[in-house]
Amino acid sequence: MLMHEWTEPSSTTVHEGCGGGDAAGCGCAASRTRAADEASAARVNGVALNSPDEHVDAETLRQRACDELLRQQAVREGLLVDDEAIPTASAQAVPSASTVAAIESLLASAVRVPEPDEESARRYFEHNRDRYREGERVRARHILFAVTPSVDVAELRKRAEIVLLDARARRDDGADAFATLAAQFSNCPSGARGGELGWLTAEDCAPEFAREIFGHTDVGVLPRLVHSRFGLHVVEVMERMPGSMMPWEAVRGAVMQRLQQQAYVTAVRQYVRLLAGAAELRGVDLDAADTPLVQ
């Protein structure tokens, strides 16, 4: 009888569910599907932005890519130990406090924002006087699609957009379609009363919600979804009380702050695009990215 030379057992994992072979090379349908899923994950310098079974909308991927570019640069500059990537478990995942602090330190040293000059600020004020009204009030109602940790944001947006189109299409049909849609779809208690929010001032609302509602003149169902920290809103402005114009002297500080914030956002976008130009990106397009800041 021939004696076979002893060899160390292979570390290859046999793929269950097929006739044999390792999972990477057996060629069965399950392994091909898994390989395709892994290949479909978006990446920044090899770091995955989404898990193979996670469906992420384009804007969330862009946000994660921006955050991951900044995290990697913070590691390169010695501001952070490379022990964690930006979380990808869900659209609600947030980076650790140490990651946020490191990225903030990176941006503070890398991004230079010029102070707005008086002439530019006055010109902005003159072109946006409606933003600076005292006593402006709006009567509105809404349909809230709440964002929760378990929700599929892409699917939620699709449902919200369908309801938005329905509300705008049926606004002149004689029935109170908006109230019916609010009662059926809204995740806000106001849905039981047709989405009615009553008379609001800017101070009554989250800042990102107020920016879309106040300082404008349009009345009716707004043509696009309003995004806030609570979710996605279909909004109908029913009445407006414009209030009175505030003088330049009263709003100068607010105007200067707004222009500086806009300049900061622009500078951060430019910095992130420089990082992107030197990075290997796969499955994500940063040309259309919104504010690239860690959420």
| 186-205 per-position pLDDT tens digit | 999 999 999 999 999 988 99
| pLDDT tens column, 119-130 | 999 999 999 887
DSSP letter string over 141-168?
EEEEEE--TTS-HHHHHHHHHHHHHHHH
Nearest one of 208, 210, 225 to 160, comparing CA atoms: 225
211 is written with which tokens? 């920016």
| pLDDT tens column, 209-232 | 998 999 888 899 999 999 998 999
83 is written with which tokens? 């022990």
> Does the pLDDT at position 9 exceed 70?
no
- Which pLDDT value is given to residue 2? 32
Q: What is the mean pLDDT of residues 17-28?
A: 47
pTM of the model: 0.56
Domains of the chain by start residue, with CATH: 40-132+251-295 (no CATH), 136-245 (3.10.50.40)
Task: State how far the Cα of 132 lies from the Cα of 147, in Å rounded to an integer.
Answer: 31
- Which pLDDT value is given to residue 199? 95
- Which pLDDT value is given to residue 23? 44
Listed in sequence order, the residues at least 6 apart from 74 whose beta carbon sits closer than 8 Å to its beta carbon are 80, 99, 102, 103, 105, 106
User: For a pLDDT cut of 90, what percent of the chain falls above it?
Assistant: 51
Kind of pairing between the strands at 244-245 and 231-241 = unpaired
| pLDDT tens column, 238-273 | 999 988 888 999 999 999 998 998 999 899 999 999
At 3, is the pLDDT very low, low, confident or very high (cuts 50, 70, 90)? very low
Task: State how far the Cα of 292 lies from the Cα of 287, in Å rounded to an integer.
Answer: 11
DSSP letter string over 77-116?
TTSS-SS-PPP-SSTT----HHHHHHHHHHHHHH---PPP
Nearest one of 75, 84, 88, 10 to 42, comparing CA atoms: 88
